[in-house]
Structure 1
Amino acid sequence: MKYMLIMRATDEAYAGMANADMNEMLETVGRFNDELIRAGVLVAAEGLDDAAEGVVVDYSSDPPVVTDGPYGETKELFGGFYILEVASKEEAVEWAKRVPSAGPGFKTEIRRVPSVDEFPQDNEWIQKERAWREATGQL
């Protein structure tokens, strides 16, 4: 089963990282990523650029409204993610407990990523997605 570990932090937690040694941080995260790779559970992992560089598309009106970041109403920003292929939610939780640079102001949300196999296989769009996944080596 695939699980997404969504890395979130408050503005204060990110501000606290501003003075962190980048090489030390990369070393710590790199060692953790290497553990995930050696365990055979890492599918993907990415960090995200500063929220101030992003935009939000709000579909509450027609046409949708685009607002530049940062997002003043957001208390916790989505800063990056891991996608793991593990046997259970409990295993995903155990990996999340080991995420480096987590501390006060940081949280990891864990969500299962449903497989294409869980959707109606007679649906035209599911068949097209399955064909795309097979053609790109994702199945």
Structure 2
Amino acid sequence: MRVMVLVKATEDSEKGFFRDPATIEMMEAMGRFNDELRDAGILLTGDGLKPSSEGKRIAFDGAGRTVIDGPFAATRELVAGFWLWDVKDVDEAVAWVKRCPNPMPGPSEIEIRPLYEAGDLQ
């Protein structure tokens, strides 16, 4: 089963990446965790995202399209990074997330969402 693991944004992540000792230590810990995921054959892909201030949204209304420039409100609803994992079930994904280093300074949140598979659509 494939799952998308979403690292939710925080006010700090929306400020962008800063090279300070705490951030570098956090990134190194996350790199080691990614190595564990890769070694276990779980990690399909993953990456961090730049702040929403560098993003765009396209709103659809019938045939109309409207481009909305970031930054976007509701920081806790934004995504700061993601992984795509191949696990046997959601419980395995939960177990891996519990081993994950805290991806942000201070409180943070990770969301796990199963992907639709071809058999789900029939």
Query: For this structure pair, what is the TM-score category when the shorter chain's length is used for normalisation?
Result: 0.7 to 0.9
1:65-107 residue CA offsets vs partner (Å, 9 max, x unmatched): 11110012x2322011111111111110111122223364411
Which of the numbers 99, 105, 112 marks the counterpart of 2:114? 112
Residue 128 of structure 1 is matched in structure 2 by: none
**In the alignment, structure 1 residue 94 sits paired with structure 2 residue 95:** yes
Larger C-alpha radius of gyration, 1 or 2?
1
Stretch of structure 1 that moved more, 10-19 or 48-57 = 10-19
**Considering only aligned residues, what root-mean-square deviation do their CA atoms show, in Å?**
2.4
1:59 matched to 2:60? The reply is: yes
CA contact 1:12–1:105 (8 Å) conserved in 2: no
Identity of aligned residues (%): 34
Relative to the length of structure 1, the TM-score reads: 0.72
Tell me the CA shift for residue 61 of structure 1.
Answer: 6.6
Bigger relative CO (Cα 8 Å, ≥ 6 apart):
2
Preserved contact between residue 13 and residue 51 of structure 2 (Cα < 8 Å): no
5 Å-filtered alignment, 1:1-139, equals 1-12=1-12, 14-15=14-15, 18=18, 20-21=20-21, 22-60=23-61, 62-72=63-73, 74-76=74-76, 77-102=78-103, 104-120=106-122
Change (3 A) 1:54 1:14: closer
CA change 1:61–1:114 in 2 (3 A) is closer
Q: Which runs of 5+ in 2 are unaligned?
A: none
Q: Cα offset for 1:64?
A: 1.8
Contact 1:7 1:81 in 2 (8 A): yes
Provide TM-score, normalisation by structure 2. 0.81
| Count of aligned residue pairs for this structure pair | 119
Cα 1:91–1:117, aligned 2, differ >3 Å: closer, same or farther? same
Are the counterparts in 1 of residues 59 and 65 from structure 2 also a CA contact under 8 Å?
yes
State the distance in 2 between where 1:119 and 1:44 align.
Answer: 24
Contact 1:13 1:106 in 2 (8 A): no
